[in-house]
Amino acid sequence: MQGKRRWLLITVLMLALCPLLAAADIMYTISGTLGPILSGSDPLGANGESGILTATFSPTLTPTSSTSTSATYTLPAGSITVNIGGTLYGTVGSSSMKYNIPASGPDTIVITSKVNVDGIDGTVVGTASLAHGSFTSAALKHPTTFKPATQTLKAATKAGGAGSQVQYSVPLLGTTVLGLSGSATSAE
């Protein structure tokens, strides 16, 4: 009798854990050419350089804040890599990722991460402007891939305006915003 209970308990635990074990990480890669300079002096000389931001995270995350059209997730340390012009900038601590899924207009992903530049902590904010309908409302409850899985990014023409862009801030050097043209991919 005790053996049957033990097997029943093991079976129940296995069935409960299977969905968690099967949940593969999601990876976004946002890459392309940085520029033009939309604001700031570009002290890192990133204008015209390649830029790659990679985010890897669990689809089981829950939002740290949300509205009816957006959700913000906290990504654990090490989830983000930032490469500008072939230089890999180490990320520091956790990062955030925000989905904006408006009733009309482009869906966006905004990823914010602290980086270390020559021993000084700074911030990088990457905004990928995707096709409307890239995300379903499910993205407001848990991170998801976007569809189509590869999309062309068009550079913003003004800081904070429509289009894809990268902002970096380094103390004493100021804040620079650059357009980003290239692509965004998502995979599980």
- Within a domain: 115: yes
Per-residue model confidence as pLDDT tens digits over 96-108: 999 999 999 999 9
Portion of the chain with pLDDT greater than 90, in percent:
81
Question: CA nearest 37: which of 48, 52, 28, 27?
Answer: 48
What are the structure tokens assigned to 185, written together? 């991919």
* pTM given for the model: 0.86
Is position 10 within any domain? no
Number of residues that make up the chain: 188
Number of domains in the chain: 1
Residue 17: phi and psi, rounded to 5, are -85, -25
Cα dist from 164 to 84, 138, 171, 179, whole Å: 16, 23, 24, 6
What is the percent of the chain with per-residue pLDDT over 70, rounded to a whole number?
A: 88
Query: What is the span of the domain harbouring residue 27?
Result: 23-187
Residues 166 and 63: their CA atoms lie apart, in Å, by 23
Give pLDDT tens digits for 109-168. 999 999 987 788 999 999 999 999 999 999 999 999 999 999 999 999 999 999 999 999
Residue 9 lies in a domain: no
Alpha-carbon torsion (102, 122, 177, 183), positive or negative: negative
Could you report the per-residue pLDDT of 18-47, keeping only the tens digit for each?
444 456 999 999 999 999 999 999 998 999
pLDDT value, residue 23: 67
42 is a domain residue: yes
